[in-house]
Copies of this chain bind each other. A is one copy, B any other.
């Protein structure tokens, strides 16, 4: 009856091959550590992460800005049609017990800001380098860091 630990992954629409691969791998790790992925539900890094998570057997939730579920990328299991536009960035951040930040633009940065406002652990995989974000060197370190954070969250 325990509720699931949610990892919110935030990042941009326009991504290069390297970031797409990184996003996919992060999705796989989220499935591997037994968490649920929450993201904005759309394209670019959101799609790549959802694809990685889903293909590794995980659960993916997309908080899309609009009302039409068909806006979601095809790797989203459960679409929440928030209807509130980009104001939904607040809830992408607040719904994560942990946030992973990939490279992105203003939208992604707004989500990082909300992560701080709601006092979430935010892992920097996008060279954001903002004070207070958690650094990890590689995917192995990411997985290890996630397992530590999950243990702490589940013990609360």
Contact = CB atoms under 8 A, between A and B. Distances in A.
Q: How many copies of this chain are found per oligomer?
A: 4
A6 B79 contact: yes
A74 B1 CA distance: 7
A117 B106 contact: yes
A3 B77 contact: yes
Interface residues of A, number: 44
A117 B1 contact: no
A20 to B, nearest CB: 18
B94 A3 contact: no
Interface string A60-85: 01010001010010111111111111
Nearest to A118: B67
A102 interface: no
A91 interface: yes
Interface of A: 1, 3-4, 6, 36, 38, 54, 59, 61, 63, 67, 69, 72, 74-91, 94-95, 97, 105-107, 109-110, 113-114, 116-118
